[in-house]
């Protein structure tokens, strides 16, 4: 049975454990126009400065025809290259032949649900994100269900707990402490009528 893009996505999401923020199907901007409508099949960022705030973009290819079309449109990945330190093509094993991989990219092959880095992506230093990209991220994250994988919390008892976005509250399974939930901030009387 042929591998689907969902099969590939399931493989690459496993590369981003702990605190990684992983977003499938991310647009590189908002509004209309070529650069705003570019998107990546997946984008991930590690939000800790100690880990270098690494951002990784993925373009999934599952057929030879799709791959050959990608090679004809190198500008298609421009937005992803601007907003990621690493860019990978993610494919079933053997789809890309020797010498075909663009020099600025790496290759991840997925077999039996496991992603393997076949060609390391060259790390690039990138500038700050554009406002269009920031707006696209905020729009995507504001949807709630958009986050396929956000990461884990560390409880004071030492247990690592995966955040539960369906219930909006995360409880440590080891000690029962509430680790997250809706936060109510006090609003002074003069601002109450403003709906803040």
Cα gap 96→127, rounded to integer Å: 30
The answer to whether residues 185 and 193 touch, using CB atoms and an 8 Å cutoff, is no
User: In terms of DSSP bridges, do strands 86-92 and 106-111 run parallel, antiparallel, or are they unpaired?
Assistant: parallel
Dist CA 82 CA 77 (whole Å): 9
Question: Mean pLDDT, 10 residues at a time, over the chain (196 residues)?
Answer: 89 86 86 70 89 90 96 90 95 96 97 95 92 83 44 55 59 67 46 48
Query: Can you give the pLDDT at residue 176?
Result: 72
Q: Classify 27 as helix, strand or coil.
A: strand
Strands 39-45 and 55-60: antiparallel
């Amino acid at each position: 049975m042929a591998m689907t893009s969902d099969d590939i996505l399931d493989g690459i999401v496993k590369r981003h454990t702990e605190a990684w923020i992983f977003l499938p199907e991310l647009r590189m901007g908002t509004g209309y126009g070529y650069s705003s409508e570019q998107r990546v099949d997946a984008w991930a960022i590690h939000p800790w400065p100690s880990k270098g705030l690494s951002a990784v973009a993925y373009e999934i290819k599952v057929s030879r025809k799709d791959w050959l079309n990608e090679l004809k449109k190198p500008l298609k990945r421009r937005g992803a290259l601007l907003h990621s330190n690493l860019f990978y093509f993610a494919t079933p094993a053997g789809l890309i032949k020797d010498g075909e991989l663009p020099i600025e990219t790496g290759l991840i092959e997925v077999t039996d649900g496991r992603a393997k880095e076949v060609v390391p992506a060259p790390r690039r230093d990138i500038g700050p994100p554009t406002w269009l990209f920031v707006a696209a991220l905020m729009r995507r994250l504001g949807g709630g269900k958009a986050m396929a994988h956000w990461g884990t919390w560390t409880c004071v008892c030492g247990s690592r707990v995966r955040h539960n976005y369906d219930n909006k509250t995360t409880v440590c399974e080891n000690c029962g402490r509430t680790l997250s939930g809706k936060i109510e901030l006090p609003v002074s009387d003069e601002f109450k009528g403003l709906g803040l």
